[in-house]
Every structure is written in C-alpha cells, then in structure tokens.
Amino acid sequence: MTTAAAPATGRRPHHRDRFDAVIAGGGPAGAAAAITLARAGRSVLLADAHTGPPKTSESLVPAARMLLHDLGIDPRELDRGHRPCHGVLSAWGSPHPQQVHFINDPHGHGWHLDRPAFDHLLRSHALARGALVAERTTVGRPARLPDGDWQVTLTATGARRTVRCRWLIDATGRRARIAVHCGAVRHRYDRLVAVHLRLAPDPRDGENRSLVESAPDGWWYTAPCHPTGRLVAYFTDSDLTPPALTTPEVFLDRLATAPHLAARAKGRPPHPGDVPRRCAAHTARLEPAAGEGWIAVGDAATAYDPVSSQGVLSALYTGKCAAEAVDAHLNGEHDATGRYTAQLHTTFDSYLAGHRAVHSWEERWSTHPFWQRRQHPRAPAAG
C-alpha cells in the first residue's frame, strides 16, 4: 500500500479507514476522478488491481491537452516517454489511404501512448494531490451500511483490510464490476473483439502516424510504440474471428492480406516473447450509470468502438466529470449525478449516430456480415 504525502494546507487529513470516495480501477478514468476529488479537498483511495489484459499502445488526440490542463497536468510531460502522433492515415471506403494531419489542429499534435507509463503518470499526480494510492489492490463486493456509507474489503498480496466510504466510483472497465453489484445492467451493442500483437523494434521506423485499414470482415490498426516498436491489431466480431488467430503464424498470414499494414510490418517478427492476444472491444452502455452512493466512469459507464479514437479521451473526461458530480453531491447538490448521467446519454447517442455513419462509408463489402451488422444495427443485448 502506498500512502499519500502530507496533505496541503486546508485539506482534511486522511482517516485510513474512512474516505469520501473509494475508486476501483487505476486507469485513466479512475486516476482522473482521484485527481479531481483530491484537488477539491476530498479524502480519496484509488485502488489499482493491475489485472485484466495487458495494456496496448493507444493514441491520445490533440484535444486532450485541454483536459490535461484541467487536471493540473502539463501536457509537455507526455513529450517524455510517449511518441508524438501527427495524424491518421485511413484506407476506409477506398483502397487509397486518406490523411488527416494534426498540423491543422489548433491544439497541436497528439501522442502514441505507452499505456503503462501514462497510467503511472496519472496515478502519480493523484498521489501528489493527496489521494491514497493502493497498488495491486482489489476492491471487493461492496456492502451498504445503515448510515448510508459503503463498506468494502481491499485485498492486496497477502493482506486484507476493510474500509468505509461515502461514495464508490467504478472504473473497472467494460465489466463494470462494482456497478453490476449495485444493480446496474450492461447493454452490449455488438460483439467486436481485438486481436493485437507487438512487432519487434526497428530503429528505422520513424513514422509518427497511425493507420486504419478496413477489410472484408473487420478492420486493421497499426501505430508506433515507444521507443521503436509497432502495434498491429485486427478488429472483428467474436463469431467471425478466424480459427487460431492468436497464434503468430495465423495472425501474420491474415495481416499479409492488408496491403498498407503489411508494408509497415514487412520483415518484422513479433516482439520477443509476445504472442497475439484477444480482448473485448465492443460498444456498451451501463444503465443506470449512477445510483445512491455510486457512479461509473470510463468504459464502465460507456465503452466506445476503438475506431472512434475516443477511449482514453472519454476516460479522462468522464472521470473528471463524475468526480465533480460527486463533490457537488457531497456539497448538497443532489441533482449533480443526474446531470452527469444525462450528459453521458447525450454523448453516447451522438456517438451511435456517428458510428453508423462511419461504417456506411465502406461499401466494398456491404454484403458481408461485419458491415451489414453496423449499417443495420439491432437492439442492444444485456450482459
């Protein structure tokens, strides 16, 4: 367990067994919530279990600079240890790649994130602001006490302790583990999965753009990894995933059918010790996203298709906004969480409309199941 530094003047000191909020999940959403609440003078415990699939390289769009500033983080900190992202190439709807260059973006360039390093940076800021950060610690199933507090068990390697809190913040990703225990239901809109593989470093790889390339049964993505590696990922529906795609040979054979990605992967074996890994990438929404004494953030609240490039940005934004709602609620504004969930609904509905439009641009394989499902979506399924 890592303890916080002495709180700044004017802050209430932590009581080690009772907090204003316990946050389950130490990714960008949970860390943004911890930073926001700690800056407001609230006592916060951020528990990061370090479980789940390995973090992959992801891109952070230039507009995230404003959110980082709002969180008290100088965006220049990302220039150390993360590669700049100067644009996106997209072979989508056409065999010829089109480019979106960030030189025209008023916020400047984005970044190809080293996710473990980025997550650690955010948790370090939460710690510096006065939050208690518990590494490799899992938040157990919550129990509501008669006085309205929550009681949760924190489990770390070889140790368990029980704490109380006024609010629980679920930042556990698509599983929404805490919110589901509180009665919320996850609604899945598709069966999208990702199979990803890191390629061996190549010092000649100086490209600073990501690339998206559509395919008959899904789409491909590649981006540089820090310092000279490269991530490649294939996105398709779970029932359309080719057999044995998680073996390097089958994965690289399928990659060879995507000409623009294949050109960037040519002659590069997998990163030593790495194999293709599969993880969930489906669109989902939690109903409700907040309740009495709990609130969900990031993928736990709304999970977006990675083609939208909204994942990390949404995590930071919802973490910040949910924490502001919790702080306002603790100050007596009991409609604050309702405003948060209403904004989630508005944003998600706009995303769904845009998601359908983007997939309608690809007409070459409009009769294939993957593309038909997105051009004529069905009602979401619970679970």
State the CATH architecture for 87-111+191-280.
2-Layer Sandwich (3.30)
Phi, psi torsion values for 199, nearest 5 degrees: -100, 155
Q: Quickly state the pLDDT bin for 208 (edges 50, 70, 90).
A: very high
Q: What is the mean pLDDT of residues 285-301?
A: 98
What is the DSSP code string of 333-353?
-TTHHHHHHHHHHHHHHHHHH
Per residue in 304-351, pLDDT (tens digit) is 999 998 999 999 999 999 999 999 999 999 999 999 999 999 999 999
The answer for 136, left when phi > 0, alpha when psi is -120 to 50, beta otherwise, is left
| Residue-wise pLDDT tens digits, 230-241 | 999 999 999 999
Q: Where is pLDDT greater, at 9 or 210?
A: 210
Residues above pLDDT 70, as percent of the chain: 95
Mean pLDDT to the nearest integer, 176-199? 97
> What's the chain's average pLDDT?
93
Alpha-carbon distance of 300 to 180, in angstroms, equals 10
Q: Which CATH number fits domain 18-56+115-189+283-360: 3.50.50.60, 3.40.190.10, 2.60.40.10, 1.20.1050.140?
A: 3.50.50.60
* Helix (H), strand (E) counts: the chain: 9, 23
pLDDT in tens, 248-267: 999 999 999 999 999 999 99
Helices in 3-112 by DSSP H: which ranges? Answer: 28-39, 64-70
Confidence class of residue 15 from pLDDT cuts 50, 70 and 90?
low
Helices 336-360 and 311-330: angle between axes, nearest 10 degrees? 170
Q: Residue 92 has which token pair? A: 């989508």
Residue 10 in this model has a pLDDT that exceeds 90: no
CB 107 within 8 A of CB 65: yes
Please name the residues in contact with 223: beta carbons below 8 A apart, sequence gap of 6 or more: 57, 58, 59, 85, 112, 210, 211, 230, 231
The pTM (predicted TM-score) of the whole model is 0.93
Where along the chain do its domains lie?
18-56+115-189+283-360, 87-111+191-280
One-letter amino acid of 336: A
CA pair distance 27, 30, nearest whole angstrom: 5
Element at 169 (helix H, strand E): strand 159-170
| Cβ-Cβ contacts under 8 Å for 113 (sequence gap 6 or more) | 57, 58, 59, 60, 78, 82, 312
The predicted structure's pLDDT at residue 146: 96
Per-residue model confidence (pLDDT) at position 12? 44
The pLDDT value recorded for residue 228 is: 85
Where is average pLDDT lowest: 55-59, 68-72, 300-304?
Answer: 55-59
